[in-house]
Each structure stands twice: as structure tokens, then as C-alpha cells.
Structure 1
Amino acid sequence: MRLGSLIETKVGLNTRELKKMSNVTYYLKKFADNDLLLGYRPNSSKVSCNDEFVTAGDIVINSTTNEATIVSPLNEGKILTQSSIKIIIRDTQQLDLWYLCYLFNGSQFIKKQIYSLVEGTVLRRITQSNIQDLDIPVISLEEQKRIGESYRIFMVRKRLRIHREEEEQKAIFNFLEKKITYVKKGNKDEY
């Protein structure tokens, strides 16, 4: 089924429009990456009405990396730039947002289509029309939710693994730094 029959797309503001605004925070890739790992699933399927700002539960695709994320409440209200495309699902009884997120980030079926559609020689960007032209697998909403939930849980577990590795690295480096300081002070004991 053609994705364009299930969604609408909105591109973020261009540089000229962004310059007109002051005291705003842009929805950058680092925020999108963090949101994806948070695994936010909104309780209700509200549709974001504001084109300029992101709302918790919005699906946003980075047009450069072709990665999708779901905006968490932590980043609600940030400004969408032209390097991002907001996806608005017309009927949430036909398409699950985490399933769609998985399709963009993990499905080889979609990645092959995107690669053949994206434009540019050096920096290959996906466009609104590219997204609308994607052919997605038609499966039941129940099956979509199972796939989407599995992907969401995988991302949450990935965040926890990353956090655990960072904490382990800090602990080991602190231990090693203490040993260097201990030996530097003239203590020659083995450790």
C-alpha cells in the first residue's frame, strides 16, 4: 500500500523563516536520537496541529539520515527545521506509529526503496514526495502493534545498555585514575 494514502507530511521551517524567530530551541538530531531511545508511546492519538513545533507523539523523519523517531514530552515545543519532516497519520486505526518508525529505521524493504528514491549526489535527502511514494507492507493493525512494540522495547533496552556501559566506563576510569594518583604519590604497591 502506498504510504501517502495513510499519512500527510509537513516539512520544518527553512533558514529564512528560522532567522525571524528568537529564543527558540530547534528539534535537532541529538534530540531525535534521545527520543527514539526513550521509547515514548502516547496514550492517545492526538494530531499535532502546529506545523512549526513538535508535539509529544509526533513522528519526525530526519531527511538526511532517513531515520524516524517519536517525539517525547521532553522535547515538545521545539521548532522543526527543514531537515525534518513531520508525519501525520490520518487514521491511527490503520497505521501504528511505532510500526512506521520500525519501517524507516529497520526494514530493509523500506531502506531499499528509500535508497532508490532519495535525491542528491553528495548528500542524499529524502523528500515529502519520496515518503508519500513508499510502498509499505499491508498487515493487520494488531500485527503492526506487535512489531512496533517489539521495536520500541528494543530501543528502550538499547538506551539502558548504553547507560550501563557509560556508568561502567566511568567507574573503571575513576578506579584507574585513583591508581595512577596512588602510584604517583610514591606508593609502589601492586594493584
Structure 2
Amino acid sequence: MVRLGEVAEIVSGYNVARLPATDQDKKYTNADFEHDFYQMKLATLTNDIIYRQSLSDRNMSATIISDENKDKFISQVFSIMKVDTAKVNLRYLCFLLNESDIVNRQCSILLQGSVITRLSAHQLKKIEIPLIPLSEQKKLGRLYVTALYHYYLEVTVAKMKLQGIRSILHDQEHH
């Protein structure tokens, strides 16, 4: 086990409400996160990981930030992790942060008694992750992001089919 702070530099986002009006459209949004999350398979493996912490449902998740979103301003609900990729595969780390019971338990312990359900960069650095050989990390990470991407594609196709059927039904209603 190794602490996250030993393999990643972690920086919390900031108050984007203070951005000048000209930069308001350059904020990283939850929609940007969802896009990056499901298309993580396509992300550049040298980009940073972005970690989202939802204040409402204690839901936390990580993804590799896409090229199109990497220059956006990050709000306080996000943290950026600059990972030492010689030690940890980005996809594997996202898998651990999103799916690992070991990590989830540690997050729950760190959040106990907190009024604000958000882990600071300092707290995130304390999380311990299992460090397996890099070749195994790459295999697990690739499997994880491929499954997410296939899920995204299947949901997208299903939505398109539903939209098509609704359109046909709507047209029938008016005949």
C-alpha cells in the first residue's frame, strides 16, 4: 500500500464565481465531467485526473480529464491529481478511486463527523492504495475504461432508439 500523496500531487479547485465574466464560459462543469468519465478510454494518458466530490450525495468519482477540457477552470467540487505515471497507471487509479472498497472505506472514515462532505487535498493525500505491478495496473485499467465506454455507447444507442420511437409515435398521434 502507498499513500496517494506519494504518487500524486493533489490540488483542490477554487471559487470560480470570482472568475471575470470573460472566463465564465471556461468553467469545468458536471456535464464536462460526465463526458470525460464515460470517454476516459479515449483520454490522453499524460493528462491529469480530475476528482469530483458531490456535496449532496457523498458521491465521489475520478476520471482522466480530456484534451478538450484540460484548460478549463476547476471549481471547489473538483480536485486535480498530477500523477507520477512511472508508478501508477491513470486508468488503474481511476478504477481504485471509483470502485475500490478499500478506498471507499477510507473516504468514509475521513468524512466521519464532517459537516462539509468533501475531502480536502490534504485528506486525499492520506488515502492508501494498493500498488500492484505496472503491467497489471495497465490491464485492469484498460478493462475498466473499456467497460465504461461500452456502457456509454450502449446507453447512447438505447437513447437514440427511444428518441426515434417517440418521434414515430408523436407523428402517428398527429395523423
TM score, norm. by length of structure 2: 0.87
For structure 2, which runs of at least 5 residues remain unmatched after alignment? none
Q: Give the deviation of 1:122 after TM superposition.
A: 5.4
Map 1:36-75 to 2 at 5 A. Answer: 36-39=37-40, 40-42=42-44, 45=46, 57-64=47-54, 65-75=59-69
Give the aligned partner of residue 22 of structure 1.
21
- Is the 2:36–2:66 contact (alpha carbons within 8 Å) kept by the matching residues of 1? yes
CA offsets per residue over residues 5-51 of structure 1, 9 Å max, x none?
11111111225xx42433222111211111111123315x3xxxxxx
Give the aligned partner of residue 79 of structure 2.
85
**1:142 matched to 2:135:** yes
Q: Give the deviation of 1:152 after TM superposition.
A: 0.9
CA–CA distance in 2 between the matches of 1:2 and 1:11?
A: 17
Greater RCO (CA < 8 Å, at least 6 residues apart): 2
- Is the 1:118–1:125 contact (alpha carbons within 8 Å) kept by the matching residues of 2? yes
- Is the 2:43–2:65 contact (alpha carbons within 8 Å) kept by the matching residues of 1? no
CA–CA distance in 1 between the matches of 2:135 and 2:112?
A: 34
- Is the 2:111–2:117 contact (alpha carbons within 8 Å) kept by the matching residues of 1? yes
CA–CA distance in 1 between the matches of 2:21 and 2:112?
A: 32
CA–CA distance in 1 between the matches of 2:53 and 2:162?
A: 33
Give the aligned partner of residue 167 of structure 1.
160
Q: Give the deviation of 1:76 after TM superposition.
A: 2.9
Q: Which one has a bigger Cα radius of gyration?
A: 1
Q: Give the deviation of 1:74 after TM superposition.
A: 2.3
**1:118 matched to 2:111:** yes
Give the aligned partner of residue 5 of structure 1.
6
TM score, norm. by length of structure 1: 0.80
Amino acid at match of 2:121: Q
Structure 1 pair 120–70 and aligned structure 2 pair: CA distance change class (3 A)? farther
Give the aligned partner of residue 128 of structure 1.
121
Equivalent residue in structure 1 for 2:70, among 59, 65, 76: 76
SS state at 2:22 partner:
coil
Q: Give the deviation of 1:78 after TM superposition.
A: 1.0
Give the aligned partner of residue 54 of structure 1.
none
CA–CA distance in 1 between the matches of 2:12 and 2:112?
A: 16
Give the aligned partner of residue 173 of structure 2.
180
CA offsets per residue over residues 67-115 of structure 1, 9 Å max, x none?
11111122232101122110011x3111011111111111122111111
Equivalent residue in structure 1 for 2:98, among 82, 101, 105: 105
Amino acid at match of 1:82: Q
Q: How large is the Cα RMSD of the aligned pairs?
A: 1.7
Q: Higher strand fraction: Structure 1 or Structure 2?
A: 2
Aligned residue pair count: 167
